[in-house]
């Protein structure tokens, strides 16, 4: 893969002048990336360990004079981070599970079970891609606050995150397209062996769909963890709020170093997830986009 020809020819790069230019550009990009993307993160992580007057000092100190873990400890206790982290984990895990179960089942039905009006339903689902989610938050909020027919409110309950998460046309379509490509013969062979539809989904389709299930899982988890406006509307009860909402609500009246520490803690789970699965995530973004 390194031998593929790009904009600059290998011959030009092999020349002494070409090599000098290459290494200059390379160094410049390394410096630029470090300053633009790594330094802010470094500043955040170390800022939390500075003392309150050191963090407010001009010119600032590049390295903390004393490393205080107190900022992190205070954030953990004063801002009740364990509770908000737990809320976020419950919301994200539930949304992930609901999406996997209901989106997979629906995608399987649309792809393989030929329901009447299947085309209409798929059209209706794809049409929601044209309706940007954020523009509908207010009527969605009113629906969640007073569910039609049932007349119950899901406000301040994790179901308010879990159920709307299922209405994710992008993930459902991703699954359906993957199922469409599964070889028909394998499914038919299972059917001849007497397997029911659920059995086929569970023991044939899902094991063959690991890559797409991985992508959908990551999308589902990241979406809930990063969301702000929807949980802000839905969780007015401070004790139920996920970490993103709690951070903003508490940012007004808390010491800067404590807030920064809380920001670092809130970032760790997603950054860790990314570092572990970076290869898959990066490959997924590239592949998903070019294959449309």
Partner 1 sequence: MTKTAERQPPAPAAAHPAPAPPPARDLRRRRLADQARAYGFLLGGLVCFALFSWYPAIRAVVIAFQKYTPGSSPEWVGTANFTRVLDDPEFTAAWRNTLTFTLLALLIGFAVPFVLALVLNELRHAKAFFRVVVYLPVMIPPVVSALLWKWFYDPGAGLANEALRFLHLPTSDWTNGTDTALVSLVIVATWANMGGTVLIYLAALQSIPGELYEAAELDGAGLLQRIRHVTIPQTRFVILMLMLLQIIATMQVFTEPFVITGGGPENATVTVLYLIYKYAFLYNDFGGACALSVMLLLLLGAFSAVYLRLTRSEGDT
To partner 1, the closest distance from the beta carbon of 233 in angstroms equals 7
Q: Can residue 42 be called a binding residue for partner 1 (CB under 8 A)?
A: no
Q: Which lies closer to partner 1 via its Cβ, residue 70 or residue 269?
A: 269
Q: Can residue 194 be called a binding residue for partner 1 (CB under 8 A)?
A: no
Q: Can residue 113 be called a binding residue for partner 1 (CB under 8 A)?
A: yes
d(CA 72, CA 123) in angstroms, rounded, equals 49
Mark the segment that binds partner 1 (CB under 8 A) among 74-82, 89-97, 114-122, 206-214.
114-122
Identify residues 71-100 at the interface with partner 1 (CB under 8 A). none
Q: Which lies closer to partner 1 via its Cβ, residue 16 or residue 59?
A: 59
Helix (H) or strand (E) holding 216: helix 210-226
For residues 261 and 46, is the Cβ–Cβ distance under 8 A? no
* Nearest Cα residue to 266 out of 41, 53, 19: 41
d(CA 62, CA 27) in angstroms, rounded, equals 22
Q: Can residue 289 be called a binding residue for partner 1 (CB under 8 A)?
A: yes
For residues 185 and 68, is the Cβ–Cβ distance under 8 A? no
Tally of CB atoms within 10 A around 171: 23
Q: Which lies closer to partner 1 via its Cβ, residue 68 or residue 265?
A: 265
Identify residues 203-242 at the interface with partner 1 (CB under 8 A). 222, 225-226, 228-229, 233
Residue from 85, 144, 215, 216 in contact with partner 1 (CB under 8 A): 144
To partner 1, the closest distance from the beta carbon of 209 in angstroms equals 15
Q: Hey, CA dihedral for 55, 60, 62, 63, is it positive or negative?
A: negative
């Amino acid at each position: 893969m390194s031998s593929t020809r790009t904009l600059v020819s290998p011959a030009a790069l092999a020349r002494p002048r070409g090599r000098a230019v290459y290494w200059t550009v390379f160094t410049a990009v390394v410096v630029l990336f470090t300053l633009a993307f790594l330094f802010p993160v470094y500043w955040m992580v170390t800022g939390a360990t500075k003392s309150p007057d050191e963090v407010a000092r001009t010119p600032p100190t590049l390295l903390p004079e004393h490393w205080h873990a107190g900022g992190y400890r205070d954030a953990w206790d004063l801002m009740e981070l364990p509770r908000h982290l737990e809320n976020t984990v419950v919301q994200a895990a539930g949304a992930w599970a609901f999406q996997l179960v209901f989106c997979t089942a629906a995608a399987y039905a649309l792809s393989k079970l030929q329901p009447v009006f299947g085309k209409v339903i798929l059209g209706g689902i794809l049409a929601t891609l044209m309706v940007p989610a954020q523009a509908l938050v207010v009527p969605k909020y009113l629906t969640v606050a007073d569910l039609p027919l049932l007349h119950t409110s899901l406000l301040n309950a994790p179901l308010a995150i879990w159920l709307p998460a299922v209405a994710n046309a992008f993930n459902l379509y991703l699954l359906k397209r993957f199922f469409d490509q599964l070889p028909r013969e394998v499914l038919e062979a299972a059917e001849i062996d007497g397997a029911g539809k659920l059995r086929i989904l569970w023991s044939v389709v899902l094991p063959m769909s690991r890559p797409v299930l991985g992508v959908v899982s990551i999308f589902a988890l990241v979406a809930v963890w990063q969301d702000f406006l929807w949980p802000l509307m839905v969780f007015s009860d401070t004790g139920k709020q996920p970490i993103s909402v709690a951070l903003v609500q508490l940012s007004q009246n808390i010491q800067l170093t404590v807030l920064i520490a809380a920001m670092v803690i809130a970032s760790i789970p997603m950054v860790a997830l990314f570092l572990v699965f970076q290869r898959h995530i990066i490959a997924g973004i590239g592949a998903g986009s070019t294959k449309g």
